[in-house]
Amino acid sequence: MSKSSVRQEMSELVNEIRDHQFRYYVLDKPIVSDGEFDLLWQKLLKLEGANPELCDPNSPTLEVGGGFATHFQQHDHFEKMMSLDNVFDEAELNSWFERVAKESTSNTWLCEVKVDGLAINLIYENGKLSRALTRGNGTTGEDVTLNIKTIKSVPHQLIGKNIPKLLEVRGEVFFPVAKFNEINETLEESGKTPFANPRNAAAGSLRQKDPRITASRPLDVVLHGVGAVDGAKFESQSSAYATLKSWGLPISNRYQVVKSKAEVAEFIEFYLKHRHDVEHEIDGIVIKVNEREIQNALGFTSRAPKWSIAYKYPPEEVTTKLLDIRVSVGRTGRVTPFGFMEPVRVAGSTVTNATLHNAQEVTRKGILIGDVVILRKAGDVIPEILGPVIEKRSGNERAFEMPTHCPDCGSTLRAMSEGDIDIRCPNSQSCPAQLRERIYYIGSRAALDIDVLGYEAANALLEDKLIADESDLFALSIADLKKSKFFLKKDGEIGANSVKLIAALEGAKARPLWRILVALSIRHVGPTAAQALANRFGNIADIERATLEELSDIDGVGGVIAQSIKEWFSEKWHRNIITKWEKSGVCLVDAVTEKLPQTLAGLTIVVTGSLVNFT
């Protein structure tokens, strides 16, 4: 390849990478997967390494961060906030170890999980949080102080002894995975657009103009680095963490000091296997020279410390071809389009289907059947199509059209209320798909957590007519299960899992009232609303008798959920579920709440004067 061709390719890569950085860091709306971006980055690095005379002095590989949003004030960091260089396999990691060994004699390494969040710099002056900045371009960041102060784990005032005059601490703002799943389920049930992924959710939540919106999101922070310090000295990275923790700062326990490359490899392998057991998303492991003196001696490149490296795990965002868009019917009748794709390996499993949420979302994302699409899957998060790779379109793609009739029962699909962007099957009582999904949901961890009541078991109970609907579930017996081949062994005897199912159903009868409420699949009633209802009323009978106003006034319920509850109880077949469950021995009373006196129920308490240190 001629020098002019190489220069042209490098220029195109620089422009393409800058565009992707802007979409990722500023818009929080990437259009390529992390893996694809890393490939572009590595390609540019190799070209620059082989052709240093052609290297653009403004290349993104020489810079930090990716720019700014437009509505925040900007301030300088006291000490430059660097990025990290990446390696992707054992050979590249060993090359980094060799480079460090040539310039130092490090005896210990600190390994820690790499949090996939939004980089943040917290500045404390005389122990008081004075400013919080995003990374920005590494020199200057966006001022998000008011928003950061809404995060409960961030102290406004440091505690303890020997607090320095100035302290910069760096870390990541993240959206806990469990909370991310909960809020997305709520958004989907409400017909709203869900967040694409936890990292984007964290970035978008922190960059709100109104801190009250940020405060409503369950953000958290973990700190993993120190910038400028005046009035304290740290001998090592690990001792710095211990000191920061003693001052009340949120430091992760997911790090380890090791003395060999073999131990580093063990740490990497451990979290590769257990990455989805962590409360936040991680995309790799960061390895640091532990001794601060050696860190200072090694120094920095223009964009990253020489004494630290990020070992990146295989991507959880990949590309594949969208072969078709089909629809599924959920437990509340919501009809959801999903993508049927060429099989692709992502996050440890092979994926062929991924949710598209609703027809408006398909249109908003600009997805066509036949597109090459970006697919994301992290842990227990349902695989999701983020968007198309428009540059790879052939012209043979076609638009998706939402069906007009339920694919399972043939009922005419419609929006159930004005302004609802979802369409639903109105045949909730006898639609096979809704029945199957409700039975399956009853057994899920989100509801009654009934062992061995999985999807296939739920389907067999209905297909073999062992139950007509969920009202019959708790009356099942071993004799009933013997009527279905699914629950028998090859020799015709009842299977061990069938015995477990009956025992698990018996145990589930004593679940807390809020779980019973969740299991009823009342639209919009998730764990939060169910617990509020159980705490307020203590039994299902009182919930049924409650007025719309009484329900609406409960914190965690509100008008929409209250209306949904009244509509649910107005159906005779719904009330029949309650009657038959109670007859089968299901406890419809919250024992704890029933024992508590309700002396102050319905009263408003007014406090005069002032309360010291009350927030």
Catalytically active residues, by annotation: 114
Q: Let me know: does 406 contact 331? Beta carbons within 8 Å.
A: no
* Alpha-carbon span 337 to 359, nearest angstrom: 7
Where on the phi/psi map is residue 353: left (φ > 0), alpha (ψ -120 to 50), or beta? beta
**Terminal-residue alpha carbon distance, the chain:** 66
> Which tokens hold the place of 414?
């419609």
Question: What single letter denotes the amino acid at residue 426?
Answer: P
Distance CA 565, CA 259 (A): 60
Phi-psi region of 441 (alpha: psi -120 to 50; beta: other; left: phi over 0): alpha
Gap between the Cα atoms of 309 and 511, Å rounded: 48
SS (H, E, C) 215-270: HCCCCEEEEEEEEEEECCCCCEHHHHHHHHHHCCCCECCCEEEECCHHHHHHHHHH
Distance CA 448, CA 402 (A): 33
- Dihedral pair phi/psi, residue 600, rounded to 5°: -100, 5
Dihedrals phi, psi of 96, to nearest 5 degrees:
-65, -45
Contact 202, 173 (CB under 8 A): yes
* Angle between helical axes of 177-189 and 198-206 (0-180°, round to 10): 80
Chain centre distance of CA 293: 38
The answer to whether 366 touches 375, Cβ cutoff 8 Å, is no
Do the beta carbons of residue 154 and residue 220 sit within 8 Å?
no
Return the sign of the alpha-carbon dihedral for residues 539, 541, 547, 548.
Answer: positive
Using CA atoms, how far residue 238 sits from 106, 233, 234, 235, in Å, is 14, 13, 9, 8
Give the contacts of 33 (CB within 8 A, at least 6 positions apart): 315, 317, 318, 319, 374, 375, 376, 386
Closest of 72, 95, 73 to residue 85, by C-alpha: 95
Cα 123 from Cα 120, distance rounded (Å)? 10
- Identify the burial level of 314 via C-beta atoms within 10 angstroms of its C-beta, where 0-12 means exposed, 13-18 middle and 19 or more buried: middle
| 8 Å CB contact between 444 and 521 | no
Secondary structure E strands in 360-477:
372-376, 384-388
